[in-house]
Structure 1
Amino acid sequence: MSAPTEAGILAVDIGGSGLKVAVIDRDGNRISQRLRVPTPHPCPPGVLIDKVAAMAAKLEGYDRISIGFPGVIRQQRVLTAVNLGSEAWLGFPLAQVLGDRLGCPARMINDADMQGYGLIEGHGLEFVMTLGTGVGTALFMDGELMPHLELAHHPIGHDMTYEEYLGDAALVSVGKERWSQRLLEALRLIDVLLRPDHVFLGGGNARTIVVDLPPHVSVGSNAAGLTGGAALWRDRDARRR
């Protein structure tokens, strides 16, 4: 008689343009179909929870939830949600509310942090930049997540923040060639600031890059926004060892 199959994790990737869900196993492998719906605008908490719950109802085989959220997260509460267009997010306990709605425990981190877990190799100082509706960043040392930096809202120059310089609106405004040159300038500044051993680029707009990237920079799979959710349920002491 075969052993029962371990229940999976419902991974939720909340993006500025799309809400994505899938069931993954403990190693981050996808074991269900991937579902996606456009992100409503504005998208207050109740609307988002209804959308995610409707997608989750089409999946099965999970007993816990991982959420990647586009904003600052502290003590499992949302502090910022710039690209969702609703002040109702301030202080909102999304993991608790969604977990109660779906009947299983949930954990939440910043979406770039979660995607980073799906991209990094776990060696040295690794920097992750996600390029989508906005810009997300994450930093890891030997596989351990460092304190979250909202670099997207830090000035890069030209009276712009990283998000204004490299977000989706900028790509549409200046085109792929100029936007790609802007990306190279941002990467140069990241090298000066952090000296990372490797930089991983993710997000939907990473595939629009039309310049040669430095040797220590690579484009990763956008699926990492979901597969990285497995890390939220790994033993934290084991991750540090």
Structure 2
Amino acid sequence: MNVDSHIFMTRSNVNEKNEIYTLSIDCGGGGIKSGIVNNHNELLSDSLRTGITYPFSPADLINIISSHIQQHNFSYDRIVLGFPGMVRGGKVIYTPHYIRFNGPHTQISAELQQRWNGLNLQEFIGQHFNKPILIINDSELAASKVVCGQGTELMLTLGTGLGCSLFVNGSLAPHIEMSHALFSQEQTYDECLGEIARQTLGNSLWNSNVERAIISLWPVFRWDRLYLGGGNSTHLSSSTIKNLEHFIHADDALATLEIVPNISAILGGHKAWELASGQEFI
């Protein structure tokens, strides 16, 4: 999305401390989280989470956001929303979870598919809350908090599915939905690494899948920095992390691996806007 002049903050948007308050919303397949952050990436409100009840429509998303805003009871200047799926210019190209009757990997609803895919989410949310808004992928929002702006930085988020975002020298590369690529036989990365797989396989086999998956992605990206985040990053075993570090360092001694907390998506709200300024978020 080109960040045009009409959505930059005016002087009236800035409080007495010359700070901009950003409502940061992290949308996942299982729940919606939000918090308000300042210019220093500090959380000023409680971090709220509301579980999703399927079927889940755009109107349901608005209702949850409205409820969170009331609970935060904190003035904010702008919104950033991390959305699960492919978004371009604020428009939903495809979302894998919200188009289904009963959540991830269940039957697709033709009605929900029509409501979500192709929706100009930026306009839809903007009309309800009358605030400047930035819509990006949820993995991109989490990455915004931690990327340093040097070299090739890859964020992989482990949650309902697999999130993926790539930054090169601080600029966001075109979005790649790695989760829908085939990983093993007829199963996608999402099906092998997502929450349903973890619950079905157990943590040990799931960790093995994660390890094999990341090793398979090394020749594709050859990152300088790899960040592993999302709610299920807490289930990564120490042996998996050590094995991955050993594998990567055997090929590139300078490449790094960092586990980042799930709160990064909320804390990345302000920085996401800064990264969007002067570049096109795709």
TM-score bracket for this pair, using the shorter chain length = over 0.9
Which residue number in structure 1 is paired with residue 186 of structure 2? Answer: 159
Residue 236 of structure 1 corresponds to 277
Which residue of structure 2 aligns with residue 193 of structure 1? 220
Kindly indicate whether the alpha-carbon contact (under 8 Å) linking 2:25 and 2:266 is maintained by their aligned counterparts in 1.
yes
Structure 2 partner of 1:131: 158
* Whole-angstrom CA distance in 2 between matches of 1:58 and 1:102: 15
Secondary structure in 2 matching 1:205: helix
* Aligned match of 1:39: 52
In the alignment of these two chains, the number of paired residues is: 237
Q: Distance in 2 between matches of 1:26 and 1:67?
A: 17
For the Cα contact (< 8 Å) 1:83–1:134, is it kept in 2?
A: no
Separation of aligned partners in 2, 1:47 and 1:212: 38
Q: Is it true that 1:22 corresponds to 2:49 in the alignment? A: no
Equivalence for 1:50: 63
- What is the match of residue 144 of structure 1? 171
Q: How does 1:41-120 map to 2 (within 5 A)?
A: 41-59=54-72, 60-84=74-98, 85=100, 86-87=112-113, 88-120=115-147
Q: Deviations over 1:89-139 (max 9, x none)?
A: 011122222222122111100001111111222221111110111111000
Is contact 2:145–2:272 with CA below 8 Å preserved after alignment? Answer: no
- Stretches of structure 1 that go unaligned for 5 or more consecutive residues are none
Q: Tell me the CA shift for residue 35 of structure 1.
A: 1.1
Deviations 1:144-187 (A, max 9, x none): 11110000000112221100110111101111111101111111
What root-mean-square deviation, in Å, do the aligned CA atoms of Structure 1 and Structure 2 show? 1.7
Q: 2:16 matched to 1:4?
A: yes
Contact kept, 8 Å, 1:72 with 1:110, in 2: the verdict is yes
SS at match of 1:180: helix
Report the TM-score when normalising by structure 2.
0.80
Indicate conservation of the 8 Å contact 2:143/2:165, yes or no. Answer: yes
Contact 1:22 1:226 (C-alpha < 8 Å) held by counterparts:
yes
Letter of the structure 2 residue corresponding to residue 124 of structure 1: G
**Structure 1: distance between partners of 2:128 and 2:61:** 12
Q: Equivalents in 2 of 1:51, 1:28: separation in Å?
A: 23
Moved more, 211-220 or 118-127: 211-220
Q: Secondary structure at the match of 1:101?
A: helix
Using the TM superposition, name which of 24-33 and 189-198 deviates more.
Answer: 24-33
Structure 1 residues 7 and 58: alpha-carbon distance in aligned structure 2, compared to 1, 3 A threshold: farther
